[in-house]
Structure 1
Amino acid sequence: MFDLDITAGPDVVAEDLQRLRELLDDASITYIVSRSGPSGGHHVWARFPAGVDPTAMRKLAYALATLLPSLDTGTLTNPSHGCARPPGSPHRHGGAATLVAPADVETAAAILSEGNPSERLQLLFDALPTSARESGDRAIHGRQTTPAHHQVATHGDAPRLTGKRRALTAGSDKLIYGPPGADASATLWAILLRCAHARWTLADVRVLADDPGAQGLQHLQSKRAPGGRQPRSTAEREALLARQWARAVEYAAQTPLPQREKRHDVPDPTTTAIAAIEDAARAQPWRWATPAGPADREALRALCLIALACRSTTVSLDCRRWSALTGFGKSTMAAAARRLACDHPIDGPAWITCTKEAEGRMAATWTLLPPVLAGDPMAEESVTRPASESTPVEVARTQGRKPAPRQTVSDTPPSSGVLGRSRQELTDLLTTELKTAAHDIWTPRGGLGHACHRTYAAARGAAAVTTSILSDETGYSRATIRRHLRTLCAHGLLAATEPNSYGPGPLSLDQAAAKLGVNGTGARRLRNYIIDRELYAWWIDEQQWRTSPGKHGRRCLPRQHPGGQGAIPVRQRPRATYGAFPTRRSRTGPGRADYAEAARRVRQHFPARPDDTEVRAGLHVPAPEREWALAVPPTATPA
């Protein structure tokens, strides 16, 4: 008997019934169809006088379940207790099971009396799609008992799996104490199966069943009735629990838990490449100890984070989003990208290469190069790097600068601990570091400067550090480190614990930024970038409108909505948002574009609230424009 359960929905049951009948007809299997009761479920009956192999029927049931969502496999996979109400039997919610096809009892009885050869079930299975047949095979052959881990023992009057009892997972607790859902029986089965895998006993489950907060065990505590759910008696509950627990233990013994693979057994190529780049960058602290070094380091870190999010070492990123991620200006990020793409006798080999220049609205495309430790000829010869046209040093820099004080660096580079981390761990690490680097406290004008940030980042999280340790980790000279420490201690970010030893200070970054009055610097910069984008998009849209034919027949100005009528929050064209692009009036008519007036109109759509803590995250931006404000990795796209 094929049971199509109404819990999947009447439309799903109707579609599944039609498809099941087509499959049975193609296999020349005779059958009858009955409506199980007033709810709308259907039963499809087919008789096989010679009997059916339970394993073959189980395989067929699981294969059909992948095609028919409403099919309940319980009666087909339970040869000892599987049963159903025949046509004409009363239903617990009222009414009775009625014949649908054929409608008369004599024809239905003749079909069942004649029956079908058992070989036609194999024809039915062979006619199923390949994916369905494979699912049925996996459901059967994947249930092999593993004696070393799934031996069944008797505890009291009920079975259990041998082994040490484990606590249930958070997901199991959510099932137990959360709402049972539409199918309370399926929720109870899932809970019992998890308890069986955790080596629980029936006594443990009885204690859980007595908990009034265990809403997931609703099927154990009550049953469906015409007027709602009716509480079960103690005898009914105990009988149901004992029967279902025995089934759960048997099923758990035949279904070994999947072995959890180590997270790094099959490393992600992109994650491995990014980890190698980050490890090489942390092993060369002197490279970032120059005046432009902090900008270069954060630019490289941000590009690594974007590459992790895109799962590609080649990504497209514009300088404004680069700026929002790092806390530096867009011009600084553009110069940092050019420096990172240069092979220089002071800075060492290039870290990135520009594979496609920016054009129009499309950002430049950058590729992260395999790391090469500067000064290591063996490493330089062993790494193959793609050929690229390096930017000349004269173009990459606007002024000269002194090399970093390498003589202060220890012979042993600091251990970064980046290699071997998973993609999520590396993403969390880079996100945290970039969030700290982009804080307003490090603003050059009025803040402490980004060089102080490198010293603070090296000292943060340690109970006590010395100037020698900080010098080795940052590449700065001890004199520079002492100057940074005095500044950080004066503003409460670090504190001297002992002579020449420093630890965390009493103030947070937000508190120190508020004292200096630099709160909102990053938010104002981000707002200006949003306005720049909107102005550019508005002007491009204006040009397209002016050069397109039939423009006077289209309505492109802002629509007025009657009072009380809400506008659908759909991202519309800039000209429909701001109107026609303003122009300066002249004696001969409209003159040149008035960008000052256009910027003023755009600013009205983006109110500035620099004192609000949400401004820095861009949460104040109106909904249609919020996607431009949030400078997070998902906004970048792989090239």
Structure 2
Amino acid sequence: LLAAAVSGWTLADVEHAAKTAPGMEHYRTRNRPTGGREPRTAAEAAARLERQWAKAQERAVLYRYAPEERQQRDLTQLTGIIDVVEAMLQAFTASPGRWTRTESDLHDSTVLTYLAWASLRSGSLDVGAALRSVAIATGIPSSTVDRSLRRLHTAGWITRRRQADGPNAAVWRLTDRFSTPSVRVGPLHNVTARPPAELFDVRVTLLEALEVRLDAGRHDVFTRAGLGPTARRVYESLTTDEHALEVVADRAGLPHGRARAALARMRRWTLAIATPTGWRRRLQDFRTHVAKQLGVDGILLRREQQYVDERDLWAWWQNHLIRKAGRRGRDRTPTTQVVMFRSVDDHGGPEAYPAYPCSSDGRADHQEAMRFVRRGLLQQLRDLELAA
């Protein structure tokens, strides 16, 4: 399901595949108490598929903007990445005053978590981080991501390896400030490195921990208009197993008083359950239900659509500048509407961008261009140009 969600499948596509796909037998049938399998009812199968599809879509948000995973040849670099990520996760709990004191600190740690995940997944120390991609993956506004990156860079937690240039995002690297180099006594050939099998096992464990943290906190209910970043950090530290308040607070890197207050607030909204021995998450995910009660449901979806529109507008504007320089512009990929005319003009075929809206004095009208983008009218504008 995760591969289907990342590839852009719809629920209808998945339902069609579930009817015959061998790997989706558990959606069609279930185990009998006496042995063998029996068909599920249509309602039960649909409900089960919808629940799992919703989870796959949440995880797909992270993978859709992830760097490409590459095969590891030199394990030295991967070892360094793992050491930095382990030290970073330890620093979040060992020095809570730095990462949880203010709302900005909480955002900084979330952005760092994403950079660590991207570096660990790609196996590269240097990772490209477009502001809007990081914003979508973390659930933080792009302007806040920009400020967090600047603060982290100024403080020396990350270094900028390459400036953003046109369509290319800035490239960042986690510094070794998190980890203290160990003092080696004796010759280097006596130092025993982690065996490859253990190294990859640790990588998988860390990736899972980072993904769970990002997926748990990326939700409408934890936006500023909802329960806020402190509740997000505490929710990320909860599991379906019971843990004492001290354990939850240590995982979140928060003082016990702030963690207790956040847990009490989430308990009122049925996101956390108090037990005689501690606290845990609900077995069922109530985040969307609470978001609807708070009136914040759909904030991240609307924000993501805004970023998509801004990227389309930027690409259209860049194409306009290319044409003004006397070169042929780029085609839109992919087209979002049915092509009506297969004609060709000086700018190309129906997949080319239409002319950018400009006022009578030649100045670009960005507001009018954004209105066209939001209404999905670029193909219609191009069709009108070809038909003229």
Equivalence for 1:464: 243
Count matched residues.
Answer: 281
Equivalence for 1:486: 264
Equivalence for 2:88: 281
Whole-angstrom CA distance in 1 between matches of 2:331 and 2:118: 40
Aligned with residue 442 of structure 1, among 209, 222, 240 = 222
Aligned with residue 150 of structure 2, among 338, 359, 363 = 338
**Does 1:512 pair with 2:290?**
yes
Aligned with residue 139 of structure 2, among 317, 323, 327 = 327
Amino acid at match of 1:546: K
Amino acid at match of 2:117: L
Equivalence for 1:432: 212
Whole-angstrom CA distance in 2 between matches of 1:532 and 1:579: 17
Note the residue ranges of structure 2 that are not aligned, 5 or more in a row.
1-21, 23-72, 185-197, 378-388
Whole-angstrom CA distance in 2 between matches of 1:322 and 1:574: 34
Equivalence for 1:594: 365
Range moving further from structure 2, 436-445 or 422-431: 422-431
Change (3 A) 1:357 1:560: closer
Whole-angstrom CA distance in 1 between matches of 2:348 and 2:289: 41
Range moving further from structure 2, 529-538 or 426-435: 426-435
Whole-angstrom CA distance in 1 between matches of 2:140 and 2:166: 23
Change (3 A) 1:320 1:560: closer
Cα drift, residue 574 of structure 1: 11
Change (3 A) 1:580 1:482: same
Whole-angstrom CA distance in 2 between matches of 1:574 and 1:277: 50
Aligned with residue 307 of structure 1, among 119, 125, 132 = 119
Whole-angstrom CA distance in 2 between matches of 1:381 and 1:491: 46
Equivalence for 2:358: 583
Aligned with residue 310 of structure 2, among 532, 539, 542 = 532
Whole-angstrom CA distance in 1 between matches of 2:148 and 2:263: 26
Q: What's the CA shift string for 1:117-138, capped at 9, x where partnerless? A: xxxxxxxxxxxxxxxxxxxxxx
Whole-angstrom CA distance in 1 between matches of 2:374 and 2:84: 40
Amino acid at match of 1:354: R
Change (3 A) 1:332 1:315: same
Change (3 A) 1:337 1:268: same
**Is the 1:488–1:494 contact (alpha carbons within 8 Å) kept by the matching residues of 2?**
yes
Equivalence for 1:237: none
Q: Which secondary structure does the structure 1 equivalent of 2:154 belong to? A: coil
Whole-angstrom CA distance in 1 between matches of 2:273 and 2:331: 64
Whole-angstrom CA distance in 1 between matches of 2:255 and 2:348: 54
Equivalence for 1:21: none
Amino acid at match of 1:358: A
Amino acid at match of 1:461: T
Q: Which secondary structure does the structure 2 equivalent of 1:342 belong to? A: helix
**Does 1:543 pair with 2:321?**
yes
Equivalence for 1:454: 233
Whole-angstrom CA distance in 1 between matches of 2:231 and 2:271: 11
Aligned with residue 370 of structure 1, among 172, 176, 189 = 176
Amino acid at match of 1:317: A
**Is the 2:126–2:172 contact (alpha carbons within 8 Å) kept by the matching residues of 1?**
yes
Q: What's the CA shift string for 1:274-307, capped at 9, x where partnerless? A: 3322222222221321212221111111112221
Cα drift, residue 460 of structure 1: 2.2
**Is the 1:465–1:502 contact (alpha carbons within 8 Å) kept by the matching residues of 2?**
yes
Structure number with higher relative contact order (C-alpha < 8 Å, ≥ 6 residues apart)? 2
Matches within 5 A, 1:96-107: none
RMSD: 3.6
Amino acid at match of 2:201: R
Cα drift, residue 532 of structure 1: 1.2
**Is the 2:217–2:235 contact (alpha carbons within 8 Å) kept by the matching residues of 1?**
no
Range moving further from structure 2, 291-300 or 334-343: 334-343
Cα drift, residue 603 of structure 1: 0.7
Cα drift, residue 358 of structure 1: 1.5
Whole-angstrom CA distance in 1 between matches of 2:339 and 2:239: 54
Amino acid at match of 1:539: W
**Is the 1:460–1:503 contact (alpha carbons within 8 Å) kept by the matching residues of 2?**
yes
Whole-angstrom CA distance in 2 between matches of 1:519 and 1:299: 23
Matches within 5 A, 1:47-196: none
**Is the 1:575–1:581 contact (alpha carbons within 8 Å) kept by the matching residues of 2?**
no
Q: Which secondary structure does the structure 2 equivalent of 1:354 belong to? A: strand
Matches within 5 A, 1:552-563: 561=339
Equivalence for 1:18: none
Amino acid at match of 1:449: G
Note the residue ranges of structure 1 that are not aligned, 5 or more in a row.
1-173, 175-265, 344-349, 374-378, 384-417, 607-639
Equivalence for 1:197: none
TM-score (norm 1): 0.40
Whole-angstrom CA distance in 2 between matches of 1:533 and 1:452: 31
**Is the 2:339–2:350 contact (alpha carbons within 8 Å) kept by the matching residues of 1?**
no
Q: Which of 1 and 2 has greater Rg?
A: 1
Cα drift, residue 560 of structure 1: 8.4
Equivalence for 1:605: 376
Whole-angstrom CA distance in 2 between matches of 1:366 and 1:555: 30
Whole-angstrom CA distance in 2 between matches of 1:517 and 1:577: 41
Cα drift, residue 328 of structure 1: 0.6
Whole-angstrom CA distance in 2 between matches of 1:603 and 1:434: 29
Equivalence for 1:354: 160
Whole-angstrom CA distance in 1 between matches of 2:113 and 2:323: 41
Aligned with residue 521 of structure 1, among 278, 282, 299 = 299
Cα drift, residue 367 of structure 1: 1.5
**Is the 2:216–2:235 contact (alpha carbons within 8 Å) kept by the matching residues of 1?**
no
Whole-angstrom CA distance in 2 between matches of 1:546 and 1:598: 17
Amino acid at match of 1:275: I
Q: Which secondary structure does the structure 2 equivalent of 1:593 belong to? A: coil
Whole-angstrom CA distance in 1 between matches of 2:318 and 2:127: 25
**Is the 2:241–2:280 contact (alpha carbons within 8 Å) kept by the matching residues of 1?**
yes
Whole-angstrom CA distance in 1 between matches of 2:229 and 2:348: 39
Whole-angstrom CA distance in 2 between matches of 1:573 and 1:533: 22
Whole-angstrom CA distance in 2 between matches of 1:539 and 1:511: 40
Whole-angstrom CA distance in 1 between matches of 2:110 and 2:199: 19
Whole-angstrom CA distance in 2 between matches of 1:278 and 1:483: 29
Q: What's the CA shift string for 1:462-510, capped at 9, x where partnerless? A: 32322x2233222322221121011110110112212x73222365222
Whole-angstrom CA distance in 2 between matches of 1:537 and 1:313: 29
Higher helix share goes to which structure? 2
Amino acid at match of 1:288: W
